[in-house]
Amino acid sequence: MNRLDRETSGLVLVAKTAAAARHFGLLMQRHSLGKEYLAIVWGWPQWAHTMVDAPLDRQSKHQHSVIWLKQMIHSAGAPAQTEFFVERRIRKPSSSDDRFSIIRAIPQTGRTHQIRLHLASIGHPIVGDKIYGPDEQLYLRFIEAGWIHELEQKLLLPRHALHSSKLAIDGEREWTSALPADLAQFCSGRL
């Protein structure tokens, strides 16, 4: 019923019957299915809470892109809104960039790469993000060579640090999932 990007961990709602699929599909259309994510981002935002309202479209429709699926903010795109809260600020003296934050993201819409692109657009890309992180060429390098030392030095994590942490059906049910071991370990100060 909901999908996650390939490297995103966490909760996925799966309908086992056609009736359940219809029920959950209607809940999603009525915006009665809430989703929350936790992301580890570069830097310490100057805000504790913010909303990004920026439409998204496939980048290759408007300019050259070597990555077919890459999105961009564009006025001709589909509406996209994400609410962000700073949950915790982390200092990692072992890293060249020693400031990171855990951000709670609540998408109001469900566009491809929405959270990742919205965070990057406000100057706080997700740690480990090969497409919206420091350089999209890192994604191409990863496709060519796999996870190599050069990528580890620039991205710190072999996957983007985004986790689907909560799914909730208004007034019915709620599921939660804590950060997985790899992301929890990153936050604890050990790389």
Ramachandran angles phi, psi of 89, nearest 5°: -105, 140
In Å, what is the CA distance from 140 to each residue of 30, 105, 135, 151?
Answer: 38, 27, 10, 11
Residues annotated as part of the active site: 5
In Å, what is the CA distance from 64 to each residue of 72, 87, 125?
Answer: 11, 36, 21
Secondary structure class of 36 (helix, strand, coil): strand
Q: Residue 8: in which H helix or E strand, if any?
A: none
DSSP string of 68-103, one letter each residue:
TT-EEE-TTSB--EEEEEEEEEEE-TTSSS-EEEEE
Look up residue 142 and give its two tokens: 């990863």
Q: How far apart are CA 32 and CA 24, in angstroms?
A: 9
